[in-house]
Amino acid sequence: MGTPDELTADGQVHDEYRIAYIRDHIEQMLLAIQDGAQVLSYTPWTFIDVLSSNDGFKKRYGFVYIDRDEFDPTPLTRIKKDSFY
């Protein structure tokens, strides 16, 4: 799920939308299992942000935010998003 995650004033990324998205997928997996489907696993796209430069590093995908934009490559700090937990 690529979204333009942003650091808030408290230095965190509050990505409730990603949590809801993953929760909904897991709920659907449970329904599929109850219907007899064999589900082996659920694998998110990536654990850490994969910066999509096609849109100026706006879309982010992971559970760990990388403090980077298209203009300033530093400091590359890793910040656990709410969805990490």
How many angstroms separate the Cα of 45 from the Cα of each of 17, 28, 84?
Answer: 15, 17, 13
Tens-digit pLDDT profile for residues 38-50: 999 888 888 888 8
Band the pLDDT of 55: cuts 50, 70, 90: low
What pLDDT was estimated at residue 70?
A: 75
pLDDT class of 25 with cuts at 50, 70, 90:
very high
Please report the pLDDT score of residue 52 as a whole number.
63
Give residue 24's pLDDT band: very low, low, confident or very high (50, 70, 90). Answer: very high
- C-alpha distances in Å from residue 56, one per residue of 34, 41, 70, 72: 42, 32, 6, 12
Other CB atoms within a 10 A radius of the CB of residue 63 amount to 20
